[in-house]
Amino acid sequence: DMKVTQMPRYLIKRMGENVLLECGQDMSHETMYWYRQDPGLGLQLIYISYDVDSNSEGDIPKGYRVSRKKREHFSLILDSAKTNQTSVYFCASSRDRGREQYFGPGTRLTVL
């Protein structure tokens, strides 16, 4: 069963704290993505990873960094979280650089 998993599902942090969001996939997909979803703004691309240690900025990378040390895992890191980073974060993966992206269930992050 093809699956993208995300941990944690819910997270509350204080402003200035560090945040680590984790994503895993069991499909051996080369390409993985991080998006955030906000009301009125839709889904916005933060970062793309084309494979291990091969990452590229998306449309809104400021305030975020990523890490991909194994093909099946992709992490999103917020160093010193800000209140405007409160959002729902989705990870996705696709075979090669294909158009069909498979999404995880999301992480709801609240920064107080």
Q: Nearest approach, Cβ of 99 to other proteins (angstroms)?
A: 4
Residues 42-71 touching other proteins, rule: CB under 8 A, are 42-43, 45, 48, 58-59
For residues 78 and 76, give the distance between their C-alpha atoms in angstroms, rounded to a whole number: 7
When asked if residue 98 is in the footprint of other proteins (CB under 8 A), the reply is yes
Q: Nearest approach, Cβ of 40 to other proteins (angstroms)?
A: 7
Which of 55, 74, 85, 90 binds other proteins (CB under 8 A)? It is 90
For residues 21 and 90, give the distance between their C-alpha atoms in angstroms, rounded to a whole number: 10
- Residues whose CB falls within 8 Å of the CB of residue 31, separated by 6 or more in sequence, listed in order: 48, 49, 50, 51, 93, 94, 95, 96, 97, 98
Q: Nearest approach, Cβ of 83 to other proteins (angstroms)?
A: 23
